[in-house]
Amino acid sequence: METIINRPLYMQKIEPFIGKDLIKVFIGQRRVGKSYLMRSVRKRILEQSRATQVITIDKEKSEFDDIRDAQSLVKYVQKHAKGVHNALFIDEVQEIEGFERALRSLNATGTFDIYCTGSNANLLSRDLSTLLAGRCIEIDVFPLTFKEFLAFHDIANSDESLRTYIKHGGLPYLRHLERTDSVVFEYLENIYQAILFRDVVARHQIRNLDLLSRLVRFLADNTGSLVSANAIAKFLKSQRMSASTKVILEYIGFLEEACFMQKAPRYDIRGKRIFEVNDKFYFADPGLRNAIAGYRPGDISKILENLVYNHLVTHGYTVNVGVWGNSEIDFVATKADRITYYQVAYQLADERVVAREFGNLAKIPDNYPKKVITMDAMAAGNQQGIEHIHIRDFLTHTD
């Protein structure tokens, strides 16, 4: 029997909707555990009622190749349905043409509790919103948080565990592999290629694969740095490759749509507005970023920044890069009416670094919480009312 490790962060979100007349859609990058979460839900449903008929369709398996469109989907489901209590699970629903019409039809019968996964961030906004307005709920799924990583690998919270997480990332299947760089990075490289070719190249019929690959490498090398389409175009030109800013922006949009990376726009804290140029980009999984750019100890600061960004987004925060005058604040995290400012650094190596990290936050005159996150062994306490936190404490205790 399969061992299912609970992911409370997601089960708490989904449990209120189990059995309800809503289509539940798990959205996230490939291999982040969406199917695993559906199995957790299926287990919960069967524990509550063995009479429920479970129907599972996995579009990554060849046995379901005949389900190609709305008509064949409805036909298959109706053939396997029994009575009025059916739980329908569909993996990678975007692979079925016109799936939204089938889901609307099945949902209208009132006899199906429907769950789907998709590897496309625009799945609901583009394909479902018109036909299924008010009938579906989206649950974003991310790679393992550090706390989940510890549970999945059954290891203690230590600096060594954190270093492994920083290097290898948080894709759930890593728990089944030998924890060596050669094995892990070979797996991650395969996942990267699958995402790139199946969710970007094939879906959008991209022909210039070299441009796409170089763009991804540029973003990996510049994780956490302010970049613009113009800057990328100039870099590519220096590499004897021509690309318009329009194409660059389009390709970046495709990568975001595949849930492969996310954009953190710049936010004017004083003027309360979003700038239209110069954003930062972060990878959904730092291990994939390292598989692309290579893991270098000198990149530790940008990877830590990526981890903090991912942790905040996973916990439901909207995250922007803050601007206060001429100073940059790494993150302005907003959730409901809660705002928190963050600076992230590897270590506070000298007074100059201390002055920069704490000083930038101290310039902001409001009373919202301000925090500096580092890997300093003695990270604790506060300075000028600004909290200093070790990143392990942040990653395991922040809600």
Same domain, yes or no: 117 and 35: yes
Report the side by side order of strands in the sheet with 338-344: 273-274, 266-268, 318-324, 327-335, 338-344, 370-374, 386-390, 382-383
Low-confidence residues of the chain: pLDDT under 50 = none
Residue 277 lies in a domain: yes
Q: Residue 238: which residues within 8 A CB-CB, separation 6 or more?
A: none
pTM (predicted TM-score): 0.95
Chain centre to alpha carbon of residue 11: 17
Residue 355 lies in a domain: yes
CATH of the domain at 53: 3.40.50.300
Same domain, yes or no: 83 and 230: no
Domain count, the chain: 2
Same domain, yes or no: 233 and 355: yes
Residue 230 lies in a domain: yes
d(CA 331, CA 224) in angstroms, rounded, equals 11
Residue 287 lies in a domain: yes
User: In the prediction, which pLDDT does 398 show?
Assistant: 66
d(CA 36, CA 55) in angstroms, rounded, equals 16
Same domain, yes or no: 129 and 166: no
d(CA 258, CA 377) in angstroms, rounded, equals 37
d(CA 264, CA 331) in angstroms, rounded, equals 9
User: In the prediction, which pLDDT does 129 show?
Assistant: 61
Side chain identity at residue 116, one-letter code: C
* 102 three-state secondary structure: helix
Same domain, yes or no: 66 and 152: no
Same domain, yes or no: 258 and 130: no
Quick one: DSSP state of residue 194? Answer: H
Which of 125, 140, 155 is the endpoint of a domain? 140
Same domain, yes or no: 150 and 134: no
Domain that residue 221 falls in? 146-397
Same domain, yes or no: 192 and 103: no
Same domain, yes or no: 235 and 350: yes
User: In the prediction, which pLDDT does 4 show?
Assistant: 77
Residue 1 lies in a domain: no
d(CA 395, CA 157) in angstroms, rounded, equals 10
